[in-house]
Amino acid sequence: MILNRKKKKREELQNTFGEVKDDSFHFDLIERYFRAKDNSNAFQTLSDKTCNDLDFNELFMFVDRTHSKVGQQYLYQTLRTIPKSGNTFDEILVDRFLNDLEFRTSVQLQLEELKSNDACYISTLFQEEHQKAPKWFFVTKILSVLSLVSVLFIPVFQQVIFFLFGIFIINMVIHFWNKRNLYQYLGSIPQLLRLTKVAAELYRDERLAPQNRELEKSLKAISGIKRRLSFFRLEAKMDNDIAALVAGFIELFKILFLIEPLFLFGVLKRLDSMRREMDEMFSFVGKIDVLLSVASLRKGAPKYCIPKISTQAKKLQAKNLYHPLVSDCVENDIEIDQKSVLLTGSNMSGKTTFIRTVGTNVITGQTLNTCFAADFEMPRMRVFSAIRISDDLLNDKSYYFEEVLTIKTMLEAGNENVPNLFLLDEIFKGTNTIERISAGKAVLSSLADAGNIVLVSTHDIELADLLHDEYALFHFSEKVNHKTVDFDYRIKDGKLKTRNAIRILEINDYPESITKEANSISNVLDKNNQNRAVR
């Protein structure tokens, strides 16, 4: 029976390799490790704003092929922190996972031991403060000793049983006071034992050990308190009446001698001195699971490449670039060389999706060493965005003010002498036309300084004329037929020269009086603009 289950599990793991997970995602748990980790040494930690703009959670759900909760948390951390260098990414191990079926399956089976949601709390043991014993805690040791002495003396002095009963009542109060403390660790500590077992098994494999050659010291340190940690397994759920009866007697025993509080605070004190060792085990297992996940991601991708990270600033090029979350995404080529990019085009033509495509690939390229393209080259750079902005009603901030604050952050980042990728969609669309164009030109010129690359979309053709020396001009367009609008989602050189907004109103059966007036006003405005240009 057990052999059949194992065989079935192996077949399932082998058949689903390369496929998107069919699973639920609890981001409040997935993010715990990342939120508590010190990422000050990273090249960049992606902001919540940029993650929201680039649909980060949806991207994570797509790239996540991990088998353990430890690996899932480590993947989230990896995807949100751009490293200073890419030398730590083990392509040799990724290739082994891709090509060695038996090796891959054996690792998957080990990692599956940590798939319980309780494993998400392992990181709290080395990232968060532990419960501290109260000042009066020395009393528990005295009461425990008194209970033991009383039990030993009952056969000699039976009257001691009354004294023991009084101690038992006091112990019961302390025991149930401690339950709240204990419950905080019933998920994490048993899973730490599992993590230790899984890390030890993986470390024995010489193909995996190079991920951390010093791990053996950490494993020995944690193994030294393994028996004490095993105590927490006694709180497992009861499956039947007999087990519940046995558990009842065990509970009385624990109350009598105050075993739970003594063990809990004793173990926590030991664990407090082993934070580095627990962190190393967590990272070792997490990194292996991430590399396995990347192998699965590449297996299922219709096209991917390992990016070339160049030292040449302000140069980015991609061939057959696509967005992994867009079904049947149209592939595009882009070459940026010493200029930024200004995109024009109508709504729904593909401008914003293209901006997100570049941003997403820059992130996955630098964090997972994987781009969704036939070829991708870029410098190592930080990513900032101003795409999805809304009014902050709770803080009484208008759309325009939110945009102003977001772009100010970009301007400050642009002056730090570090290559940046700035992604903007319809800059300053929260204000009037004249000031939007004026402020937009000034800001976009400033952002494009030094080694920064800017990708910005706009409906303001005037910006294209003002920025043509600093920005390469591209556009997306559509074909408006008698009753349809067809988009090809292909990026094209130059600025958009046609306008179809009023024509789209016509094919959607707007009243003729409205479309006539709109065309008339449009012609007048065009003539006025031409006259100003002549002057």
DSSP 41: T
230 with 269, same domain?
yes
223 and 173 in a common domain: yes
Q: For residues 473 and 495, give the distance between their C-alpha atoms in angstroms, rounded to a whole number.
A: 6
- Range of the structural domain that residue 213 is part of: 129-288
pTM: 0.89
List the CATH number of the domain containing 332. Answer: 3.40.50.300
263-283 per-position pLDDT tens digit: 888 888 999 999 999 999 999
Number of structural domains found in the chain: 3
Summarised one tens digit per residue, pLDDT across range 80-134 is 999 988 667 899 999 999 999 999 999 999 999 999 999 999 999 999 999 888 8
Are 239 and 344 part of one and the same domain? Answer: no
257 belongs to a structural domain: yes
State the DSSP H helix or E strand holding residue 48, giving kind and residue range, or none if neither. helix 48-53
Confidence check: pLDDT of 243 > 70: no
Tens digits of residue pLDDT in 439-468? 999 999 999 988 899 999 988 888 988 998
Burial of 481 (0-12, 13-18, 19+ CB in 10 A): exposed
Confidence of residue 390 (pLDDT cuts 50, 70, 90): low
Q: Is residue 392 helix, strand or coil?
A: strand
Instruction: Find how far residue 156's CA is from the centre of its chain.
Output: 65
Identify whether the C-beta of residue 428 lies closer than 8 Å to the C-beta of residue 463: no
Q: 141 with 261, same domain? A: yes
* 69 falls within a domain: no
Is residue 181 a part of any domain in this protein?
Answer: yes
- The span from the CA of 419 to the CA of 168, in Å, is 68
Q: Give residue 236's pLDDT.
A: 46
Give me the DSSP letters along 150-206. Answer: HHHHTTT-TTHHHHHHHHHHHHHHHHHHHHHHHHTTTTHHHHHHHHHHHHHHHHTST
**pLDDT value for 397:** 61
pLDDT of residue 266: 87
| Length, in residues, of the chain | 535
Per-residue confidence (pLDDT) for residue 86, from 0 to 100: 66
* Cα 266 from chain centroid (whole Å): 35
- The Cβ of residue 395 has, within 10 Å, a number of other Cβ atoms equal to 8
Q: For residue range 131-163, what is the model confidence (pLDDT) as tens digits?
A: 888 888 888 889 888 888 888 888 888 777 888
User: Six-digit token pair at 516?
Assistant: 């006539």
Q: In 3D, which of 62, 102, 100 has the Cα closest to residue 370?
A: 62
Same domain, 265 and 364: no
Q: Is 117 left (phi over 0), alpha (psi -120 to 50) or beta?
A: alpha
Q: Which of 107-121, 211-225, 476-490 has the lowest mean pLDDT?
A: 476-490
In a domain, 412, yes or no: yes
Give the range among 79-93, 281-295, 478-492, 495-509 with minimum mean pLDDT.
Answer: 495-509
**Is 494 found in the same domain as 351?**
yes
Phi then psi for residue 382, to 5 deg, are: -85, 160
Does any domain span residue 423?
yes
Instruction: Identify the pLDDT of residue 3.
Output: 64
The pLDDT of residue 242 is: 60
Is 217 a domain residue?
Answer: yes
Residues 356, 239 share a domain: no
Residues 238 and 319 in one domain: no
Same domain, 362 and 483: yes
